[in-house]
Amino acid sequence: MLQSAAKVLSFASATSVSRGIAAGIRHYCKNTPTKLRVSQALSGAELGSNIKVQGWVRSVRAQKANVFLHVNDGSSLQSLQVVASSELSDPLLTFGSAVEVTGILKKSPHQKQPVELDAKQINVVGECNPVDFPFKIKERHGLEYIRQFPHLRCRTNAFSSLLRIRSEATAAIHSYFKDNGFVEINTPIITSNDCEGAGELFQVEPSGPDYADGENFFSVPAYLTVSGQLHLEVVSGAFSKVYTFGPTFRAENSQSRRHLAEFYMVEAEISFTQSLEDLTKVMEDMFRFATEHVLAHCVEDVDLFHKHVTPGHRDTVDAMIKNSFPVITYREAIDILRRSSERFAFPTDWGCDLKTEHEKYLVKHCGNIPVFVTDYPYDLKPFYARDNQDHPERTAAAVDLLVPGVGELCGGSLREERLNLLSARLEEAGLEDVYSWYLDLRRFGSVPHGGFGLGFERYLQCILGVDNIKDVVPFPRFSHSCLL
């Protein structure tokens, strides 16, 4: 009986072990350090525990008995202070080097920092020669300087803050659309249409021995997209609210502070609407939601810009989210510009396209907060903009959102859903055959609809006060520059 019981016990134990392995259970020594991100360590997680952090040295200071390091892994603007015995010092432990530090997380005796890591082991994972490294430990480098090093600038405080802000703003925009019933659509990057009609496209051509120069891979000319709008319109024939958020491209030969060859656009399309107010409400609500989210979740990162890069800009941002956005017509905008005592470089007559100088003046005139401009001259807008059929000045049901420091941030319109009017305009432009599929959308179950696009990099410029668009994108592409 004892022998049988032993066999049963043995079998039960073996079964338990086997089930544990199958379930993925692993038993570790209590001394195994818990790996934490720097942001987790700074929050006091695992206080008193043996932990491990991995990151890059932002400062190093050696004393007779101790070595003090600040280690950052990109999860926070603040770095974690590491205190180590001088015995752990290493000639390779320099500013910019990559390290792995193990030790006990303790409360710090200093008021400026809540915790510090009492290091028991420091491993230099990657060396960095501080003499050759373009960023120096005690210098505050401007955005223009760090722009020269696109492969290294993410190591700086300013640009790492920018990337965290950009990530949170992206998440906030997706969250807004999800919460409001929009379906995300992945529109194509390669397309056969020129949505904007400006002709500033990058043509896609194959290369290699199997293709002749100029040969069309798709049998028709294909381009990198300048907008996902037309594809969203296709899907808006089956979904009442859709949006896309992705890269767009424009072959504009410009190296100005406002333009990029590759940039991100947020675009939305809403079916069953005949009112520009439906569009302006989404634009305004999304702007306010995303901005409040960024201010709440990136406090230190935003403060870095508002205090050291663009001092005083926080007051402008607060005014933007606290006030409703005024609405003026294009006619009213022209009247404001013509009554102004300011001397503009470009004309301000009816029918002229509003330039950046005009847009910035209108924003200041309206209280330095975002302003909607509606009902532009019909001839200024693309073929898909809805004809207001008004007289004597023919206008389109189009709207732009102008914001401080940037000018135009959003552009949108009601779309021409009336087949006869749309067909006539396409025929006039010689595009009826090219856009026959677009006319089909009006033949089969068409509804009144409209949409808009928001330039994501311009949005970041707006809330941070950054003057150059190249400083809010990880890897800027523009005329005569495609580094990395």
In the structure, what pLDDT confidence band is assigned to residue 258 with cuts at 50, 70 and 90? confident
CB-based burial, 257-288: b 16+ in 10 Å, e otherwise = ebbbbbbbbbbbbbbebeebeebbebbbebbb
Whose tokens are 């890059």? That residue is: 56
**Which tens digits make up the pLDDT trace of 116-131?**
999 999 999 999 999 9
- pLDDT value for 113: 84
Written as one letter, the residue type at 242 is V
Distance from chain centroid for Cα 293: 13
Task: List the single range of 8-12, 62-66, 71-75, 237-241 with lowest mean pLDDT.
Answer: 8-12
Asked if 55 contacts 37 with a C-beta cutoff of 8 angstroms, the reply is no
| Cβ neighbours of 141 (radius 10 Å) | 18
**Which tens digits make up the pLDDT trace of 129-155?**
999 999 998 888 999 999 999 999 999
Complete domains list, the chain, with CATH: 34-133 (2.40.50.140), 154-471 (3.30.930.10)
Distance, CA of 302 to CA of 297 (rounded, Å):
9
Angle, alpha carbons 146-152-155 (nearest 5°): 85
- pLDDT value for 214: 74
Q: Is the pLDDT of residue 225 over 90?
A: yes
Q: Check whether the bond before 134 is cis (ω within 30° of 0).
A: no
pTM above 0.85? Answer: yes
- pLDDT value for 198: 60
Asked if 115 contacts 105 with a C-beta cutoff of 8 angstroms, the reply is yes
- pLDDT value for 484: 86
- pLDDT value for 195: 65
- pLDDT value for 29: 54
Arithmetic mean of pLDDT over the chain: 91
SS3 for 195?
coil
**Which tens digits make up the pLDDT trace of 263-299?**
999 999 999 999 999 999 999 999 999 999 999 999 9
Asked if 143 contacts 309 with a C-beta cutoff of 8 angstroms, the reply is yes
DSSP letter (8 states) at residue 370: -
**Which tens digits make up the pLDDT trace of 183-209?**
999 999 999 887 665 668 999 988 888
